[in-house]
Amino acid sequence: MLSLFDAGLTLGTFQPICRKPFVLRILKARKYQLQTESWPDCLPVAQFIVNAAPHAPTRLSPAEIIFGSDFRVPGQLYVTDAISADEVSQPESNLEAARIARQLAEARIKTMTDDARARVGEQTQITSEYVLVKYPSKAPSKLAAGWRGPMRLIRPVVRDRLTIAYVVQDVNTKHEFQVVSERVRAFEGELSQSMAQTLAATTESEYVVEAIIGASDERKVSDRQYLVRWAGYEPSEDTWEPYENVRQCEALDVYLKAKR
């Protein structure tokens, strides 16, 4: 990963990597927000941006190249209220953001190792409080990570002394569903419930209609409710949506043409 110190940053002096205007703007804004003269207090946020920003030659960020997926730390984890005198003088929020980001990155690295072990039959039962769940087909967008979560692990599903699946819970919607064991990996970081909810919200911030698979019986198209399958989500998470929510979706045209 790129370190702003490794890139030649000294206090008050910006070397090559920090010549990027957006990094310099972030550092200046953070310094003003924290009301501090200490540049190191401002570095964690800028370092996240550098490591998560795609670069032109590869169209990948350093995090994606090293970890296989990007990590995104939500703003509310590290943005301090600038009008709170008790908070702006403290760098603890930066340190907490760094800790959370490292845990998420480490969990995704571990999924790669666990995938390799699973292919040779060495998978063991997961006992962590939180897990990551692989998308059933593909992620809802090209920018999304390949794993959802963190999600709360409710219980394993065991048949003939083998763990064949897990019941997991979305920490925000509280929806529970069963996922085959091959698609579940441990998240071993120590997270509070609020941190888990915030991280999960960043990985599920985008809902993309994959298909419309059903409709209610009203005569008029505009009066019907439509059953929506969301890209990257489980069939048990299909939802009924009013016409107004799907009227501009290509999936609605496909569904109506198929029913003619």
pLDDT in tens, 144-197: 567 888 889 999 999 888 899 999 998 888 889 999 998 898 887 777 888 777
Q: Are residues 85 and 135 in the same domain?
A: no
CATH of the domain at 185: 2.30.30
Q: Is residue 6 part of a domain?
A: no
Last residue of one domain, picked from the residues 184, 203, 222: 203
Q: Are residues 161 and 189 in the same domain?
A: yes
Q: Average of pLDDT values for 14-33? A: 56
Q: Is residue 10 part of a domain?
A: no
Do residues 187 and 161 touch, judged by C-beta distance below 8 A?
no
Q: Average of pLDDT values for 116-120? A: 53
Last residue of one domain, picked from the residues 46, 78, 106: 106
Q: Is residue 20 part of a domain?
A: yes
Q: Is residue 136 part of a domain?
A: yes
Q: Are residues 26 and 76 in the same domain?
A: yes
More confident residue, 226 or 127: 226
Q: Are residues 167 and 241 in the same domain?
A: no
Instruction: Give me the pLDDT at residue 213, please.
Output: 94
Q: Are residues 214 and 197 in the same domain?
A: no
Containing structural domain, residue 213: 209-258
Q: Are residues 97 and 145 in the same domain?
A: no
Q: Is residue 117 part of a domain?
A: no
For the chain, the first-to-last Cα distance in angstroms comes to: 54
Domains contained in the chain, number? 3
Q: Are residues 167 and 218 in the same domain?
A: no
Q: Are residues 97 and 25 in the same domain?
A: yes
Supply the pTM of this predicted model: 0.47
Q: Which residues contact 124 (CB under 8 A, 6 or more apart)?
A: none
Instruction: Give me the pLDDT at residue 149, please.
Output: 80
Q: Is residue 2 part of a domain?
A: no
Q: Are residues 21 and 77 in the same domain?
A: yes
pLDDT above 90 as % of the chain? 20
Q: Is residue 215 part of a domain?
A: yes
Q: How far is Cα 97 from Cα 122, in angstroms, rounded to an integer?
A: 33
Q: Are residues 88 and 155 in the same domain?
A: no
Q: Are residues 94 and 137 in the same domain?
A: no
Q: Are residues 101 and 129 in the same domain?
A: no
CATH of the domain at 222: 2.40.50.40
Q: Is residue 77 part of a domain?
A: yes
